[in-house]
Amino acid sequence: MRSWSVILALFIATGIFAQETPIYLDVTAPVEERIEDALSRMTVEEKVAMCHAQSKFSSAGVPRLGIPENWMTDGPHGIRPEVFWNEWDQAGWTNDSCVAFPALTCLAATWNPDMAYLYGKSIGEEARYRNKNVLLGPGVNIYRTPLNGRNFEYMGEDPYLASKMVVPYVQGVQSNGVAACVKHFALNNQETNRHTVNVHVDDRALYEIYLPAFRAAVQEGNAWAIMGAYNLYKNQHACHNRYLLNDILRKEWNYNGVVISDWGGAYDTYESAYNGLDMEFGTGTDGLTDARTSEYDAYHLARPYLKLIKNGDIPIENLDNKVRNILRLVFRTTMSANRPYGTFGSPEHFDAARKIAQEGIVLLKNEENILPIGLDGKKRIAVIGENAIRMMTVGGGSSSLKAKHEILPLDGIKAAVGNKAEVTFARGYVGKISVGYNGVDTGQAIEDNREKDTLIAEACRIAEMSDIVIFVGGLNKEIHQDCEGLDRYDFQLPYAQNELLDALSKVNENIVVVLVSGNAVEMPWVDNVKSIMQAWYCGSEAGNAIADILFGKVNPSGKLPFSFARKLDDYGAHALDAYPGDRDVYYKEGIFVGYRWLEKNKTKPLFPFGHGLSYTIFKYGKPVFSSRELSSSDSIVVSVPIRNTGGMKGKETVQLYIGDKKSTLPRPLKELKAFRKIELQPGEEKNVDFKISVADLMFFDDVRHAWTYETGKFVVYIGASSEDIKYSTEITLK
């Protein structure tokens, strides 16, 4: 039997008889009061400890006050497996295999905010179940060059589309009491020299192109966390950048959430202290990139910061402001009384992943209506290409996952076909094969040492004997492709895929190309194939979703979130030799990014922004305008009748663009200002309503540093893509 002295010691150790008065227990008390109460009870050392990492993915709480630790997890496509305290490799858990959701390029291609909310809610439930209170995502950096290795994690080239998709994602995540950490703020548009490149961009481009999605996430989505970027802007690293974090984020946008560094993104103690950074995380344990000790107190916002505060070089109020933001995060997440429990790896989440993938897959070309593939009379189907059998959930950088399952394209096709046809596979090409990433092994044995000519010959032999060829190629998650850390080498398909497609087209005219990638690629074979489908990285249900589209179980409805140019120099960054830079990179194209640049230079894209075909036909009727004149105090309602005149249920995304006919500053020919996705049964008609206000006509005046507008005539364009314009008319701003 224990002595009373031992029991008393236990009570004291656990705080039961401690002198410390507990922090607010009344969960109905205003959060700001609870924050100030907690802050008043903390020591300087406890406050500083909350400002930096204590492990790879956690930061300290204050146990004696009942303030929990903060636990981060990589997204934005799924919940990262558990790793060791101080290592990147997984910890060997057997119950941390997640649902892999489609990459964010695929989500953006749905052009459906409802899908964005479903995505955010589902991944937020997975994070909550694993007791993470910060999801490191989504990413909303703009698609400036197709060589950026991290484009697959972002939402395309248009700031309006990215803005409308990020807000419901954030809201869905945070409905679970998990903070969405929107990244990478800002101007992270390349991986080459990402830690050292200093971005030069004019204020118009900054405010009109590169900031709107972040602003929407903050002001409309009420994002609770923001992650800084690795690059520099105005010669300061973005993770402690006075202009980005203090002037814009805090002062202009009134942000009251927490700012988190990217891992290893903090470089200076004074700048970290004064320029808006709240929490510092790192890849190594010295606060930078190389692990030398397990001393997390060596971080910039750790012991060096504490020393400056105790010496009086930095005022305590500087520290208190950071801790207020961190405590606000804690009260919004882990200490919220209304926080749900979450679910993990559920059938509902796999269903959500499949549904998002189905809506995001884009049908780029479909000659002779070769798709959907009918199985009546189809005896032999050839599936060719390594990407039909290669896992894509492992690799790519911090978004790498340990998925509960991943349906490969070949398996999805075979399951859909069943015994109705013969499916034969040929490798066709061999890419670089990695066995795993951060200790997550794919478990695949797909090494193949055969020569290129042997592989092509085998593929052609099988293709020649088949009724239809489904080529599954594209990029993968290896470095210098779609992968964090390094950009692509060039615009071409790797591993001699162009040569393979050229050979296949000579032995079979019925070729369907399924591109698995997060980036546009050059297509010298575009005229030699009948159909092209952009299938992205679709996560756990990739194979099923691809098969659903190929065989017509689902009518494709995805639209491109970025332009597919014909050649690399058609993109502004490359035409102007403004990528990748060395120490400095100059965004010479300014506001003319993506379709804005192509239209300015009268360059026809291979496939335009907003493009995507369907298996049915949508007829656009003549829009009805409530007025053709607009003032600053009213709005114009536009009603567009859309009819499904085909024989299959389908979804169409109606797009509205606006162009300024005459302005004092250069402006794009047109800019996306509204869109809406609707579903129609065969023969059904619906009206799609849009509202145009003066805000849709504004531009950023970098001289006045303000959003402004000019009176005059504007053109309203309504169409199915940036090029497929069905109707245009003028309105007047009085």
Average pLDDT, the chain: 94
Domain endpoint, select from 525, 543, 562:
562
Q: Are residues 121 and 255 in the same domain?
A: yes
* Helix/strand/coil for 680: strand
Co-location of 107 and 193 in the same domain: yes
Look at residue 261 and tell me if it is in a domain.
yes
What is the DSSP code (8-state) at residue 706?
E
The pLDDT of residue 291 is above 70: no
Q: How many other CB atoms are there within 10 angstroms of residue 97's CB atom?
A: 19
Q: Identify the CATH number of the domain in which residue 113 sits.
A: 3.20.20.300
d(CA 14, CA 8): 10
What confidence score (pLDDT) does residue 29 get? 85
pLDDT in tens, 680-724: 999 999 999 999 999 999 999 999 999 999 999 999 999 999 999
Residues 432 and 305 in one domain: no
The active-site residue, picked from 262, 278, 487, 660, is 262
371 and 519 fall within a common domain:
yes
Q: What is the CATH number of the domain that holds 385?
A: 3.40.50.1700
**Which CATH number is 670's domain given?**
2.60.40.10
Residue 677 contacts residue 557 (beta carbons within 8 Å): yes
Q: Are residues 37 and 166 in the same domain?
A: yes
Q: With 70 as the cut, is the pLDDT of residue 4 above it?
A: no
Residue 581 domain flag: no
Residue 160: inside a domain: yes
Residue 651 placed within a domain? yes
Least confident of 75-89, 245-259, 408-422: 75-89
- Angle, alpha carbons 10-11-12 (nearest 5°): 90
Residue 385 and residue 282 share a domain:
no
Kindly report, residue by residue over 372-400, the tens digit of the pLDDT: 999 988 889 999 999 999 999 999 999 99
In a domain, 374, yes or no: yes
Whether residue 436 is contained in a domain is answered as yes
* Cα gap 392→499, rounded to integer Å: 23
pLDDT band at 22 (very low <50, low <70, confident <90, very high): low
CB-CB neighbours of 624 under 10 Å:
12
pLDDT tens, 551-582? Answer: 999 999 999 999 999 999 999 999 999 999 99
Residues 368 and 300 in one domain: no
Q: Confidence band (pLDDT; 50, 70, 90) for 12?
A: very low
pLDDT band at residue 3 under the 50/70/90 scheme: very low
Q: Which structural domain, as residue segments, surrounds residue 426? A: 361-562
Supply the pTM of this predicted model.
0.95
Residues 558 and 647 in one domain: no
441 noted as active-site residue: no
Regarding whether 376 and 311 lie in a shared domain, the answer is no
* Selection from 411, 415, 435 nearest residue 425 by Cα: 411
Checking DSSP bridges between strand 198-200 and strand 232-233, what pairing results, if any?
parallel
- Hey, is 36 helix, strand or coil? helix
First to last CA, the chain: 89
Taking 3-state DSSP, the helix, strand and coil percentages for the chain, each rounded to the nearest 5, stand at 30, 20, 50
For residue 66, how many other CB atoms are within 10 A of its CB? Answer: 14
Q: Is residue 611 part of a domain?
A: no
- The alpha carbon dihedral of 21, 22, 28, 31 has a sign of positive
Which pLDDT value is given to residue 691? 98
Within 105-175, strands assigned E span 134-136
Both 309 and 226 in one domain: the answer is yes
Q: Are residues 367 and 317 in the same domain?
A: no
Is residue 270 in some structural domain? Answer: yes
535 and 462 in a common domain:
yes
CA 357 to chain centre: 14
- pLDDT-based confidence at 290, cuts 50/70/90? low
Q: How many domains does the chain have?
A: 3
Confidence of residue 161 (pLDDT cuts 50, 70, 90): very high
